[in-house]
A = this chain, B = another copy of it.
Amino acid sequence: MTNPTTLQTPALLADMNTLERNLDRMAAYAAEHDLGLRPHVKTHKSSRVAQAQVERGVVGLTCATPREAEVMAVCHDDLLMAYPPLGGGRVERMLALPPAVRPMVALDSVEALQHLAHAAREAARTVRVLVELDLGMRRVGVSTPQEAVSLAQTVTDTNGIEFAGVAFYPGHLKNPGTEREEGLARLGQDLGTMLDALTTAGLPAGIVSGGSTPTAWETHRIPGVTEFRPGTYVYNDRTTVAAGACRLEDCALTVLATVVSTAVSGQAVIDAGSKGLGREPMSGDPALGYGELVGHPEVVVSRMSEEHGVLDLSRTAWRPTVGEQVRVLPNHVCIVVHLHDAVHGFRGESWEESWPVEARGRLPA
């Protein structure tokens, strides 16, 4: 294979130069500010990309699912499960990782802690725990200093478990500008209050783990943070551009698709629909559709069926022909990758390598 026209569509294309530049830039940012980089692998689900992150310097990797951890165990020995280890088999699979792996878990409840501790003692394996804090996202995490201290104390008192610090996810600070500035300031204050309470209680947080690509470049401005967990930055996407966290030319992954019908006037249909592109709207504006065409940003995927994406041609003079290939810049790259078996890496116009989305799915690796 030397060019994308031989690929069966829909297919994922990675621009290797852009991917490597994204990896370099985040590693340089982390080094410059003496922050630990612990990338979330959910975006790429690939040991190939994880290895490239590790080579540039990381303190560990972040996983959400057991399969992600199983795949990543060959890449690094410090794996954070940024997900409560509940549900049949989740803890057991983590504790069955190779002995060299030092698992760490973020959780927010005594129930999850006890479930973990019981299994850890059975497996004769020590697990580090981060207490998950809610700093405004309102998804998971304890929200008061009292709760944080209480849970940290219980963690410390639990056999087989080591209290390692705290984790939070600033995923609510999506929009750039004043909203994010004010949000960051408030988050910094709230985090400071939490950390002070823990220190006062004699439970200082060794690790203070932040995250998210939209706020990644502001991490050094949040006092106390020791590491961060961006995921999307490897590929970036339209949402990352809208969040002001990358430029359009920093988007490394596109969906190659074929125009399969132009029979209905005013539109063209491509073979990337909700099963290949994902039904992920841009925040707040339905007119932005589900993806935009590379080279024709005025053309968006305005409607989708499972295998059909409808290109709205009302704002363009461009008229594609049936059989023509196009590339779609997706709204949310983590979902797109999760829908595909493989990524095809190109250097300029030349195919360089392809790699499987190994950590996709739920089965044991």
A contacts, CB < 8 Å to B? 5-11, 42, 64-66, 83-84, 86-90, 93, 108-109, 111-112, 115, 132, 134, 138-143, 147, 171, 257-264, 267, 269, 271, 274-275, 278-280, 303, 305-308, 310, 321-323, 325, 334-335, 338-342, 361-363
Contacts and interface: CB of A to CB of B under 8 A. Distances in A.
Contact of A306 (B6, B259, B335, B361): B335
B322 A260 contact: no
B306 A141 contact: no
Contact of A323 (B66, B112, B340): B112
Contacts of A258: 86-88
A323 B115 contact: yes
A221 B87 CA distance: 48
A110 to B, nearest CB: 8
B263 A108 contact: yes
A267 B108 CA distance: 14
B139 A269 contact: yes
Nearest to A40: B306
Nearest to A363: B341
A115 B321 CA distance: 13
Given A8-B66, A263-B134, A362 B335 contact: no
Given A9-B90, A42-B306, A111-B323, 17 more contacts: A5-B88, A8-B90, A42-B307, A65-B307, A83-B271, A84-B322, A86-B271, A112-B260, A112-B322, A132-B263, A134-B264, A139-B310, A141-B261, A171-B305, A279-B335, A341-B361, A341-B362
20 contacts: A6-B89, A9-B87, A83-B307, A84-B322, A86-B271, A87-B260, A87-B325, A108-B263, A109-B263, A109-B322, A111-B321, A111-B323, A112-B322, A138-B267, A139-B310, A141-B263, A278-B279, A306-B335, A340-B362, A341-B363
A323 B109 CA distance: 10
Contacts of A11: 362
The 7 closest A-B pairs by CB, nearest first: A87-B258, A111-B322, A9-B87, A8-B89, A140-B261, A84-B260, A108-B263
A262 B303 CA distance: 36
A139 B264 CA distance: 7
A307 B309 CA distance: 25
Contacts of A142: 263
A89 B86 CA distance: 42
A280 B363 CA distance: 24
A8 B339 CA distance: 20
Given A258-B86, A271-B87, A143 B264 contact: yes
A88 B90 CA distance: 39
Contacts of A8: 66, 87-90, 93, 362
| Residue with the greatest number of chain B CB neighbours at <10 A, chosen from A90, A258, A305, A338 | A305
Contacts of A361: 340-341
